[in-house]
């Protein structure tokens, strides 16, 4: 992967081994295994995990466990809405904003969760474009973005996906950090919204976009050129959590979210069709961090962290 470093960090330290468990955006993106199988775990997960789960986690879980794997992927807001509305009854729910999952699912749909991976926000770009050339030359990314034409830069939909609202919060934090009056508002009016998060980087590859605001793992998986961002606004530094929280966004449904580090958390919902399969899958995630780091995610010393009252099969 081609990369231009800022002040971001990329820790991938090992965590202690945990106990084993007893013995689409806008549609289905993909499934590993047979959807008609009776002994399978059904996972409803954040769209940024689609490639990692379909090409690594899911197939390996099927090989190692007694369950098949079936995954669906949407923006986290959409994932949680499907659970709360009773549209979906997955065995595992996974979000890209730990606080958002707890706010939406506790206490009616879940009473515990565990963080298992982290990420950061980056700028992926097409080097052959005018904006891409300037980023590759090392110009400040916010100066480059300020000169972009409407639609040259894409973000995911902030009303369904934390990556989308984190892009807007990135613009707000950069505005404060660098004294860029009106930067967030100007960028919000200029960027294109892509509803299907797993397809966000396709715009770079087909020539429709010059830049996209993406998660690091998404850029790694697509071998995209990347400008890494300062810890002050890349949502990848736990030490800057208070700074991130100064920015907020209110969705079209009136739900206000605040900035936070990118941390994925998982739970087995109370009405899971097969809670045993769900617990087995969550334990598998905690025991196989290499499957996550191989796809550009991070597993650092602060992971895993349990919240609430996890079942004995999963708790360390």
Tell me which of 258, 277, 297 is where a domain ends: 258
- Residue 160 placed within a domain: yes
| Listed residue (6, 229, 225) closest to 125, CA to CA | 225
Q: Give yes or no: residues 109 and 223 share one domain.
A: no
| Listed residue (216, 159, 217, 210) closest to 188, CA to CA | 159
| Listed residue (311, 300, 240) closest to 275, CA to CA | 311
Structure confidence at residue 21 as a pLDDT band (50, 70, 90): very low
- Residue 213 placed within a domain: yes
User: Is pTM, for the whole model, over 0.75?
Assistant: yes
Tell me which of 258, 274, 292 is where a domain ends: 258
261 is written with which tokens? 């580090």
Total tally of structural domains belonging to the chain: 2
Q: How far apart are CA 316 and CA 286, in angstroms?
A: 10
**Cis ω on the peptide bond leading into residue 314 (within 30° of 0)?**
no
Q: What is the pLDDT of residue 60?
A: 97
- CA angle centred on 216, ends 136 and 63, rounded to 5°: 140
Structure confidence at residue 316 as a pLDDT band (50, 70, 90): low
Residue 135 is part of which domain span? 121-258
- Contact 234/8 with Cβ under 8 angstroms? yes
Q: How far apart are CA 194 and CA 49, in angstroms?
A: 16
Q: How far apart are CA 205 and CA 221, in angstroms?
A: 13
Q: What is the pLDDT of residue 19?
A: 30
Q: Give yes or no: residues 241 and 188 share one domain.
A: yes
Task: List phi, psi (to 5°) of 186.
Answer: -65, -45
- Residue 1 placed within a domain: no
pLDDT digits (tens, 9 = 90+) for 213-239: 999 999 999 999 999 999 999 999 999
Q: Give yes or no: residues 245 and 134 share one domain.
A: yes
For residue 39, pLDDT beyond 90: no
Q: How far apart are CA 295 and CA 217, in angstroms?
A: 6
pLDDT digits (tens, 9 = 90+) for 281-307: 999 999 999 999 999 999 999 999 999
For residue 15, pLDDT beyond 60: no
Q: Give yes or no: residues 70 and 190 share one domain.
A: no
């Amino acid at each position: 992967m081609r990369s231009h470093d800022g002040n971001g960090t990329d820790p991938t330290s090992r965590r202690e081994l945990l106990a084993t468990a007893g013995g689409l955006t806008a549609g289905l993106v993909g499934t590993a295994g047979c959807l008609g199988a009776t002994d399978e775990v059904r996972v409803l997960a954040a769209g940024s995990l689609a490639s990692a789960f379909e090409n690594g986690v899911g197939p390996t879980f099927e090989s190692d466990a007694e369950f098949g794997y079936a995954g669906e992927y949407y923006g986290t807001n959409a994932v949680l809405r499907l659970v709360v509305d009773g549209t979906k009854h997955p065995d595992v729910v996974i979000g890209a904003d730990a606080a958002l999952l707890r706010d939406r699912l506790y206490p009616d749909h879940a009473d515990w969760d565990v963080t298992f991976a982290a990420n950061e926000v980056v700028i992926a770009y097409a080097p052959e474009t005018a904006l891409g050339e300037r980023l590759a030359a090392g110009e400040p990314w916010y100066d480059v973005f300020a000169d972009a034409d409407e639609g040259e830069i894409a973000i995911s939909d902030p009303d369904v996906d934390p990556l989308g609202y984190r892009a807007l919060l990135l613009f707000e934090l950069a505005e404060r950090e660098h004294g860029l009056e009106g930067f967030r508002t100007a960028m919000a009016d200029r960027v294109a919204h892509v509803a299907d998060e797993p397809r966000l980087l396709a715009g770079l590859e087909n020539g429709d976009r010059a830049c996209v605001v993406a998660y690091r793992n998404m850029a790694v998986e697509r071998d995209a050129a990347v400008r890494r961002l300062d810890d002050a606004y890349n949502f990848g530094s736990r030490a800057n959590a208070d700074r991130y929280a100064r920015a907020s966004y209110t969705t079209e449904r009136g739900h206000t979210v605040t900035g936070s580090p990118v941390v994925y958390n998982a739970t087995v919902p109370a009405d899971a069709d097969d809670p045993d399969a769900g617990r087995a899958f969550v334990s598998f995630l905690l025991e196989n961090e290499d499957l996550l780091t191989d796809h550009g995610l991070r597993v650092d010393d602060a992971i895993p962290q349990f919240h609430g009252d996890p079942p004995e099969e999963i708790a360390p």
